[in-house]
Amino acid sequence: MNTKAKDQTPVRPFSNATEAEWWKDHNCYQCNKYEMVSESEEKARCKLAWHLDIGYTSGTIPRWVGEEIGCIDDPLTFTEAGIAEGVQLRNDCRKRKI
């Protein structure tokens, strides 16, 4: 059993909505696990996509989501609000199922 806590540090993986939409179009929308009807993380078929959908409006995702997807985040810089910037997701989600 994995007892390591998931890093909830908010990270900003996309610079704008166009970049986020491009990434989702090439990953989430092509994945057979993606759906947009879940009202909670627990009910979501893909927890990563659920957080990305929430992040689409909030502008951030938890760091663990970026790590699961596959991201390059060194070096991180933090805003005054404690949001990590400088995160770059891989072009292809490591969890995508076609």
- Give me the tens of pLDDT residue by residue for the chain, a chain 98 residues long: 454 578 888 888 887 888 888 888 988 898 998 888 888 999 999 999 999 888 888 888 898 888 888 776 555 566 666 666 666 676 777 777 76
Angle between helix 47-58 and 17-26 (nearest 10): 160
Q: Considering the entire predicted model, what is its pTM?
A: 0.76
Cβ atoms of residues 54 and 28 within 8 Å:
no
| SS3 at position 78 | strand
Interval 10-30: pLDDT, tens: 888 887 888 888 888 988 898
